[in-house]
Structure 1
């Protein structure tokens, strides 16, 4: 598989950790490479109050680069959730460039925060998003049996939902589709070791439910023909590579997939989003 022609498609990357220190020295160059690759819209991920503030600041610093962001408390940091944190998130979610609430959810794989704290923080953020009528950006790892009923209890009060970086199995996929969730697919699909089951599931995601993301700087595609300039660092400019892989698995053209996932991104966020 050759690298996609960057002039052929326009893409949206719905999961970019641009505040990560791995981008500290060259964020402007990262944005330029993304634009040259046809990635015209980037949703920056906020995983705690400070990172959410930083993501918002980047959106404000680069107003013509197709940037929006999220604001939330990742389950890894759920032990820090309190009324003050929730108040700060509420304020952030009122900013024009903050397009979705999250990253929020449950992670029972690493358990960096106690599970009761994770559930409490998740519930509080779902309530906050529902009250503000904000789309939600969700994280779930090894926690589906607890995550699903919590999400189901709030789903009718949320305008839209994406299960970010989906790497789970068939039953969770269809459970989320039954709740009219969007499904975020990353470079995990390019991993011949871990991504085999996901590759079998991707064709079963309805076209209007599919979103694409790099989760940069994480989840660098393993099947790239050449390593990136910074070894092992993923970037938004590599989203077309992921898209080409997904399109091949689905029996679609890359151009059609790019158009569909861009339209889906705008439907998820339910707002206008000027391109870079």
Structure 2
């Protein structure tokens, strides 16, 4: 497929043409008024006068048909009998030859919030996602001539790009690995989605300025099970950190007792002390101390 490319159209300032038209109308009025046939003029003279008036009106109407207005952040695609002749982006009143076609389109930023779609993440879990995309027309020729309906094309490609990016990453990951997840790496996912959409929409002359997820959740059929799984993984992760912290604290306590020569413990009493400290540090309930009034070995 041959891609179109935007170019500048050869148009005229509408204000200048309007001024010339007004001057021409005033002059024509005086000329016609002075040329009005008298009562005894011939029929041919009267017909010629009527033809002059109709011709003048036709010329004025033809010139008026060439005027058009371009608002800020708006463009007009100019064609001549189906051939692309350029794009006019100059704001204000413009004029072009009346037999040339013009199609206006907005080059402002468009904000699109996609519908929620169900996809499978990297691990095959069904999830519901939606995104928000800010896009604009960068090349008017491609938008008008290279796709049938560029707005519908954008909506379809947004859904396709969302499915592609969503399938690259897992929804969440409770392991210690530094993985990119849909829930925990919002900036990375947004950057990937924007790049994916720009690649897909380049053929239509569309540029995506911003893209990001606005909704992310497990599908209803597995939401309950995945919530219990997340809770279990969170409990396991918390317990692992608690045990590692308790072991380091016990090690620090034993080393400190030995360094300061406070007490010397044999292997049996050392194991008993470690067991008691681990129970105190890892237990979920408050521990009641027991005072030993006897010797260390009773």
TM bucket by the smaller chain?
Answer: under 0.3
Give the structure with the larger strand fraction.
2
Q: Rg larger in 1 or in 2?
A: 2
* Structure of greater relative contact order (alpha carbons < 8 Å, 6+ residues apart): 1
TM-score in terms of structure 1 length:
0.18
